[in-house]
Amino acid sequence: MPDPKPAPDTARNVAATTLAHQELGGEVRVAGEGSPAEWVRLVDSCDLPTRWGAFRLHGFVDLRNGQEHVALALGDLAGSGPVLARVHSECLTGDAFGSRRCDCGAQLEAAMERIAAEGRGVILYMRQEGRGIGLLNKIRAYHLQDDGADTVQANQALGFAPDLRSYELVAPMLARLGVQAVRLMTNNPRKVDALQAAGVPVAERLPIRVGRNPANQGYLDTKRSKLGHLLDPDAG
Ligand SMILES: Nc1nc2c(ncn2[C@@H]2O[C@H](COP(=O)(O)OP(=O)(O)OP(=O)(O)O)[C@@H](O)[C@H]2O)c(=O)[nH]1
């Protein structure tokens, strides 16, 4: 039997790691104080050779809570013209384990491949697992979906909104990398609106319809019908 579920407001995945604690020193700010540009710090960068190309990996910390985020970059981001970009939300099950319950892993790989082919672009990998409810709550949500709930109903049954993500750190992270405007790979119009509202010029939205399979048909149909994703049911 699973352990009893904690109250939703204690369940957010915001625990600081050891490295983040070192970086934070005495600087932890209370949420809402200052501006997004002050909340995020670029800690360090390194080369990251990958299957698709030689990326640079940039590590950021959110000074409000110690949450760590990364950017995978290729080419001259500060050069002229909007940068091919993806703002990807963490999905351990899809990105690392090859889960077929969602389309996340296929989208991440497709984005890296497109950026490598173009020779310029960036992926912000935001640690907002499970649309912000965290990994263990996503497992609870999957359990409910095993029993018949859809992805929105499962979040709601656990006491969460369907989507808890925020995009306020995207603008300062991109600015730190020299990006002035993006061509955004996404099927999610709410993400485009959220980025524009946060001060990120989105010059173009590029669909990224990959990874449909028999195990995620219902999930993708719910994203289209309840969450507003621009997904053609017959798209590959
Ligand atoms: N709570 C919850 N989160 C999920 C589920 N399936 C995937 N996720 C999370 O959803 C996030 C990805 O959301 P999506 O809606 O696929 O993508 P999006 O980023 O809004 O839109 P795209 O840019 O088109 O991919 C990741 O954080 C995943 O961990 C689920 O059934 N329940």
Residue whose tokens read 């925020």: 166
pLDDT in tens, 111-149: 999 999 999 999 999 999 999 999 999 999 999 999 999
Q: Which atom of ligand 1 is nearest to the CA of 132?
A: 27
Select from 178, 195, 225 the least CA-distant residue to 86.
Answer: 195
Q: Ligand 1 centroid vs 26 CA: distance in angstroms?
A: 34
Q: Dump pLDDT digits (tens) for 68-116.
A: 999 999 999 998 899 999 999 999 999 999 999 999 999 999 999 999 9
For atom 18 of ligand 1, the residue with the nearest CA is 188
Distance 140 CA to ligand 1 centre (A): 15
pLDDT of amino acid 234: 53
What is this model's ipTM? 0.97
| Spacing, Cα 88 to ligand 1 middle (Å) | 9
163 is catalytic: yes
Dump pLDDT digits (tens) for 168-180. Answer: 999 999 999 999 9
CB distance 134 to 6 below 8 Å: no
Question: Residues 103, 163, 209, 212: which is the catalytic one?
Answer: 163
Residue 211 to residue 102: CA distance in whole angstroms: 8
Q: Give residue 232's pLDDT.
A: 73
131 is in an annotated binding site: yes
The least confident of 26-30, 93-97, 130-134, 213-217 is 26-30
- State whether residue 214 is helix, strand or coil: helix
**Could you tell me the fold of the domain covering 35-128+165-227?**
Rossmann fold (3.40.50)
Domain assignments of the chain as residue spans, ordered by start: 35-128+165-227, 134-164
Q: Going by CA atoms, what residue is nearest to atom 12 of ligand 1? A: 89
Residue partners of 125: CB distance under 8 A and separation at least 6: 69, 70, 71, 72, 88, 90
The tokens of 31 are what? 């949420």
pLDDT band at 19 (very low <50, low <70, confident <90, very high): low
**What is the per-residue pLDDT for 14?**
44
